[in-house]
């Protein structure tokens, strides 16, 4: 198979009748011109064969402007829905469950923090300041992510250490990761899990941990790797689908929580 190489990357703008759209143009050794919109990045990517002129590329984009403008519009709409002001009624995820935010103003003698009441996540704060409220929520998510992901990791590592070679040697690191759910570093013997998994169901968190534990025995995603994964997490396809479906809100929530972990 031919190896696809990127020869040049440029940031450009195309002017349609209604709107100007920024895009990233990549010249590669491909046969056809293609474009796609990456929702998570809110960005248009155009991949062009090396010998294509800008005129030809712009004609292609103009011919497809209806579809491109639709993508941009949908993505902007999603962004508005997920913008956070830390006021009553905003939706928040925790362990796959949706909660509505309720702000509870308390006086200085009372304790600030987060508590839950059926479908509500209640933020107790002495100040109305947006950044102040964000920090209270961030602290809560940071603590709960640290606690739950560590517990699940320990539990699964103990359970499967006899089944997955070398897995007992690995330690856990939880940090903010945008593009990935988890990572296995065989050199440092560390498994890294993205903190944002705390927004997802516990079964989904377990799936990511098991996936990374399987990499302790097999580095690549070959047949042997899948036989381990299938044996230890038979519903992995469903788990993966679940995470993919929810990844957009996850990413937006990470952005709203800012510098978490
Ligand atoms: Zn993997």
| pLDDT tens profile 42-81 | 789 999 999 999 999 999 999 999 999 998 888 777 776 6
* Residue 219 alpha carbon to ligand 1 centre in Å: 8
Q: 208 CA to middle of ligand 1, Å?
A: 9
pTM attached to this predicted model: 0.73
pLDDT band with cut points at 50, 70 and 90 for residue 252: low
Number of domains in the chain: 2
Could you tell me the distance, in angstroms and rounded to a whole number, from the CA of residue 42 to the centre of ligand 1? 25
Between the CA of 61 and the centroid of ligand 1 the distance, in Å, is: 35
Cα-to-centroid distance, 88 and ligand 1 (Å): 39
Domain contains 95: no
| pLDDT for position 209 | 97
33: left (phi over 0), alpha (psi -120 to 50) or beta: beta
The verdict on 162 and 227 lying in the same domain is yes
**C-alpha 221 to ligand 1 mean position (Å):** 6
CA of 153 to the centre of ligand 1 (A): 16
Which of left, alpha, beta for 205 (phi over 0: left; psi -120 to 50: alpha)?
A: alpha
Is 34 domain-assigned? yes
Q: Is residue 55 part of a domain?
A: yes
pLDDT of residue 80: 67
Q: What is the pLDDT of residues 157-198, one digit of tens each?
A: 999 999 999 999 999 999 887 768 899 999 999 999 988 888
In the chain, % of residues over pLDDT 90: 67
CA 97 / ligand 1 centre spacing (Å): 26
**Cα–Cα dist 251/89, whole Å:** 20
CA of 255 from ligand 1 middle (Å) equals 24
Report the separation in Å between the CA atom of 139 and the middle of ligand 1, taken as the mean of its atom positions.
Answer: 30
**Does residue 157 share a domain with residue 247?**
yes
Q: What token pair was written down for 50?
A: 């090396």
Ligand 1 centroid – CA 117 distance (Å): 37
Whether 29 shows a pLDDT value over 90: the answer reads yes
Measure 229 CA to ligand 1 centroid, in angstroms.
10
CATH number at residue 239: 3.30.2010.10
Confidence label for 261 from pLDDT (cuts 50, 70 and 90):
very low
Same-domain status, 71 and 167: no
CA 157 to ligand 1 center in whole angstroms: 17
pLDDT at 232: 96
Residue 221 lies in a domain: yes
The domain boundary, picked from 35, 55, 81, lies at 81
Last residue of a domain, one of 65, 81, 97: 81
Is 118 a domain residue? no
Is 154 among the domain residues? Answer: yes
Q: How far is the CA of 12 from the centre of ligand 1 (A)?
A: 34
pLDDT: which is higher, 178 or 252: 178
Distance 210 CA to ligand 1 centre (A): 10
* Structural domain for 16, as ranges: 6-81
| 51: its two tokens | 């010998």
Do 154 and 238 have their domain in common?
yes
Identify the pLDDT of residue 259.
44
Ligand 1: distance of its center to the CA of 201 in Å?
Answer: 19
Ligand 1 midpoint to CA 11 (Å): 31
77 lies in the same domain as 146: no
Residue 255 pLDDT class (50, 70, 90 cuts):
low
Same-domain status, 145 and 252? yes
Q: Tell how far the Cα of 166 is from the centroid of ligand 1, in angstroms.
A: 16
* Cα–Cα–Cα angle for 212, 172, 195, rounded to 5 degrees: 80
| Boundary (domain end) residue, out of 34, 58, 81 | 81
Hey, CA dihedral for 48, 54, 55, 60, is it positive or negative?
A: positive
* Mean pLDDT within 198-218: 95
Kindly state whether residues 253 and 161 are assigned to the same domain. Answer: yes
| C-alpha 253 to ligand 1 mean position (Å) | 24
Report the phi/psi class of residue 61: left, alpha or beta, with left for phi > 0 and alpha for psi in -120 to 50: alpha
């Amino acid at each position: 198979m031919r190896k696809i190489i990127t020869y040049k990357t440029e940031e450009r703008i195309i002017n349609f009748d209604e709107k100007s759209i920024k895009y990233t143009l990549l010249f590669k050794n491909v046969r056809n011109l293609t474009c796609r919109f990456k929702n998570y990045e809110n960005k248009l990517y155009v991949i062009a064969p090396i010998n294509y002129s800008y005129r030809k590329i712009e004609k292609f984009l103009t011919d497809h402007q209806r579809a491109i403008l639709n993508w941009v519009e949908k993505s902007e709409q999603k962004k508005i829905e997920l913008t956070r002001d830390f006021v009553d009624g905003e939706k928040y995820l925790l362990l796959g469950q949706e909660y509505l935010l309720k702000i509870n103003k308390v006086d200085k003698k009372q304790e600030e923090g987060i508590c839950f009441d059926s479908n509500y996540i209640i933020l107790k704060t002495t100040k109305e300041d947006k950044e102040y409220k964000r920090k209270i929520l961030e602290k809560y998510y940071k603590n709960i992510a640290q606690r739950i992901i560590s517990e699940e990791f320990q539990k699964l590592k103990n359970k499967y250490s006899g089944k997955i070679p070398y897995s007992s040697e690995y330690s856990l690191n939880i940090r903010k990761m945008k593009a990935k759910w988890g990572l296995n570093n065989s050199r440092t013997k560390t498994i890294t899990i993205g903190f944002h998994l705390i927004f997802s169901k516990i079964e989904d968190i377990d799936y990511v941990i098991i996936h990374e534990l399987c990499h302790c025995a097999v580095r690549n995603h070959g047949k042997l790797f899948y036989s381990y994964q299938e044996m230890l997490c038979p519903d992995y396809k469903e788990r993966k689908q679940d995470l993919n479906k929810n990844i957009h809100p996850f990413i937006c929530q990470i952005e709203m929580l800012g510098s978490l972990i």
